[in-house]
Amino acid sequence: GEQVEQRPPHLSVREGDSAIIICTYTDSATAYFSWYKQEAGAGLQLLMSVLSNVDRKEEQGLTVLLNKKDKRLSLNLTAAHPGDSAVYFCAVSARVVGQLTFGRGTRLQVYA
Amino acid sequence: EAAVTQSPRNKVTVTGGNVTLSCRQTNSHNYMYWYRQDTGHGLRLIHYSYGAGNLQIGDVPDGYKATRTTQEDFFLLLELASPSQTSLYFCASSDAWGPSAETLYFGSGTRLTVL
């Protein structure tokens, strides 16, 4: 089955700097790619998602890059601020219900 | 926006105890899911359902039962709880089709401790 590796597990950046989180996956049939944010004491909330026909998507200071050749997905938070401090998860699937595979999460801390 | 409510927020039980975790969603989503979240493992799918009376097995189903009684309500049952089931449990729901079909809407979680 699908294997997803997410790195780094912990990331600390200064306010205004960028933060990059990377996931690699193994299944060539993977066609749906997403990033979730989990704030303290809360459930996960979708940040962005892309399908396999998209290489790059930008929204509100977030950039998702998809490299299908290398089976790599990245999330770039440009100009991070303390409100971005949370745990981030990638989640991918071959668009089959019940087969969304999550990475292990990255705990991001943004300090002033 | 979909609303998913879990109860209780926290639960402590003893080994061998009987526990029921509840989840209700109010956006008429067809799919509902139960995940557990453990440090170093991310989220792992226990069971899911595509409608009342339906149950599908996830990736880590051992020791868990689930029941979907209505479109809105999905329950996770631990009939003989073990310490290995100490975890943070999340319920989620999603549409069956459309552009947001793959988006999961999560509840706030139930922290279960089995002593």
- Report pLDDT for A90: 97
Tell me: pLDDT of B2 over 60: no
Confidence of residue B98 (pLDDT cuts 50, 70, 90): low
**What integer pLDDT is reported at residue B36 of this predicted model?**
97
- Alpha carbons within 13 angstroms on the beta-carbon side of residue A86 total 20
B60 has pLDDT over 70:
yes
pLDDT digit string, tens, across residues A50-73: 998 899 999 999 999 999 999 999
Residue among A5, A23, A32, A46 with most chain B CBs within 10 A, to mutate:
A46
- Which chain A residues are within 8 Å of B50, Cβ to Cβ? 97
Among B24, B100, B104, the strongest candidate for a mutation testing the A interface, having the largest count of A CBs within 10 A, is B104
CA A12 to chain centre: 16
Residue A57 one-letter amino acid? K
Q: E-assigned strands of B1-115?
A: 4-7, 10-13, 19-25, 31-38, 42-49, 56-57, 65-68, 73-78, 87-94, 105-106, 110-114
| Contact between B42 and A93 using a beta-carbon 8 Å cutoff | no
Q: Does B108 touch chain A (CB under 8 A)?
A: yes
